[in-house]
Structure 1
């Protein structure tokens, strides 16, 4: 956005302050017992994605990735949108309808994320993703598509896969689920990144900017 502004208004001085979130609201959320809610055994693992069901969010790559994961790995799709039924049909057509859970719009998203094991965002592109920050605030490993708005921000923080590469995504998920040390390291890096955009830190940046004028 800053680059686009400078292309239209030359010699302008600008300062970028990204949006912030209440990190503690997510990091302190009480996990939901997802196994009990959806009726699966306690050895199941959960990969969650919170996004609108639209083309650019690309749930289908995540659904295909599930085919490459162990049968005890389930997918939680949290959101609504025009492509919801299309994705439901796709999951059933892939033969994994029983492992893909469409939870709709929820008021307890922080609790669902805390009850999950891995959080994914498989978008075609993003701005400055608030849902990414929310996921990272839960101190869970975050895996994102290597696209503008994700890859350029968290390349050295999260795990990345190429857009629509279900094999690469499955590999990332398997890596963190199969390696406790890597799981913890990625989760801690993600949490530290999110804390930079806590609402209090962002408010302080605004105060500093006002005082400098």
Structure 2
């Protein structure tokens, strides 16, 4: 395979998305001898990248700055004559596919990974009216659509998206060397380092504080069973616009000794290893990395029954699913696992078994099968 002067472009709204989820694929292209470019907002340090175009892409489709971003992207795509463009995130993918229309007629292949369509079962009418027509229209400018959950894959097939190929892969991949179970001694060492007691019953959730992640539900569920579990802790890692609101709710319910706001953390693996249950209150997911990380650490999961979550959690298999906006149901499942540690251990072992196909090695192998036909 002659890769001299072959170039690939990765596109996303913000460079943090590339750094968080796609570095293994940048490295893979570099190892194949390709020149790797990225277009995304931000000033982050991206390894394995030859050129980082810091085009200001705005998340809102109504922001006029995206007109300039589209113009910049069109120029750089036509100038660099990419063999492959792989786009991610809603606005990043919209702009990239529009900008690459002329280049596709000259042989450029455009791959789009949908990390969770904004139109889905239970989504608002507005989301369907706004985002579905856009995605259906842009499918004609897409050579390969990659979905990461069953609902999105089936929808794209059923609605006959005008794309040449559609695949479903197992997300972005999990590092099973970093996220793995630990013994009780190590678990307690991590707890001590984080000022947590050996006898604490710890629930963990990592995610941006937002309407979508819905941490308010977690706090309400904890409030219901706070008197039934004497040494319970809810650890919430992350930042975001809804954080202050959640802190206020915690204060009003007098749960300050139970709910801990950890902020941005780089030791998520250790926090999961120190915990007893991984929980999720999300209203919407693509294929949640936080749940995969919990499964890889051998934890039972108590999560909302929404797209993405229910791809990973088998009810009474490796955890429990409960109806969205039902803190009572969530509280019941948490209490059940607190009172039945043998069940919790059994579900955790099943999580560890079920997560294996989602390893980074398996996902890279699947992506190789997608990339290679376009690299000739």
TM-score normalised by L of structure 1: 0.89
Match for residue 60 of structure 1? 216
**Per-residue deviation at 1:178?**
1.4
Structure 2 gap segments, 5+ residues each: 1-151
Counterpart-to-counterpart distance in 2, 1:36 and 1:11: 51
Counterpart-to-counterpart distance in 1, 2:260 and 2:233: 8
Give the RMSD, CA atoms, in angstroms: 2.3
Match for residue 136 of structure 1? 295
Alignment partner of 1:194 out of 333, 355, 360? 355
1:34 paired with 2:191, answer yes
1:91 aligned counterpart, secondary structure: helix
Match for residue 23 of structure 1? 176
Contact 1:126 1:148 (8 Å CA) reproduced: yes
Match for residue 272 of structure 2? 113
**Per-residue deviation at 1:117?**
0.8
Give 1 or 2: higher helix fraction: 1
1:97 aligned counterpart, secondary structure: coil
User: How has the CA–CA distance of structure 1 residues 98 and 137 changed in structure 2, closer, same or farther, with 3 Å as cutoff?
Assistant: same
2:299 aligned counterpart, secondary structure: coil
Contact 2:292 2:312 (8 Å CA) reproduced: no
Between stretches 152-161 and 179-188, larger displacement belongs to: 152-161
Counterpart-to-counterpart distance in 2, 1:11 and 1:54: 32
Give 1 or 2: higher strand fraction: 2
**Per-residue deviation at 1:105?**
0.5
**Per-residue deviation at 1:154?**
2.3
User: How has the CA–CA distance of structure 1 residues 211 and 104 changed in structure 2, closer, same or farther, with 3 Å as cutoff?
Assistant: closer
Contact 1:54 1:83 (8 Å CA) reproduced: yes
User: Which one has the largest radius of gyration?
Assistant: 2
User: How has the CA–CA distance of structure 1 residues 52 and 11 changed in structure 2, closer, same or farther, with 3 Å as cutoff?
Assistant: closer
**Per-residue deviation at 1:204?**
2.3
Alignment partner of 1:2 out of 124, 132, 153? 153
User: How has the CA–CA distance of structure 1 residues 65 and 188 changed in structure 2, closer, same or farther, with 3 Å as cutoff?
Assistant: same
Structure 1 gap segments, 5+ residues each: none
Contact 2:205 2:290 (8 Å CA) reproduced: no
User: How has the CA–CA distance of structure 1 residues 109 and 179 changed in structure 2, closer, same or farther, with 3 Å as cutoff?
Assistant: same
Counterpart-to-counterpart distance in 2, 1:202 and 1:102: 32
Match for residue 309 of structure 2? 150
Counterpart-to-counterpart distance in 2, 1:13 and 1:208: 13
1:196 aligned counterpart, secondary structure: helix
Match for residue 251 of structure 2? 92
Between stretches 100-109 and 18-27, larger displacement belongs to: 18-27
Relative contact order, CA 8 A, sep 6+: which one is greater?
A: 1
**Per-residue deviation at 1:152?**
4.3
Between stretches 132-141 and 4-13, larger displacement belongs to: 4-13
Counterpart-to-counterpart distance in 2, 1:185 and 1:212: 42
Counterpart-to-counterpart distance in 2, 1:125 and 1:9: 22
Counterpart-to-counterpart distance in 1, 2:241 and 2:332: 29
Equivalent pairs counted in the alignment come to 212
Residues 14-62 of structure 1: per-residue CA shift (max 9 Å, x gap): 2222321112211067545335633x64322111111110011111111
TM-score normalised by L of structure 2: 0.52
Counterpart-to-counterpart distance in 1, 2:271 and 2:163: 46
Contact 2:211 2:242 (8 Å CA) reproduced: yes
Contact 1:24 1:137 (8 Å CA) reproduced: no
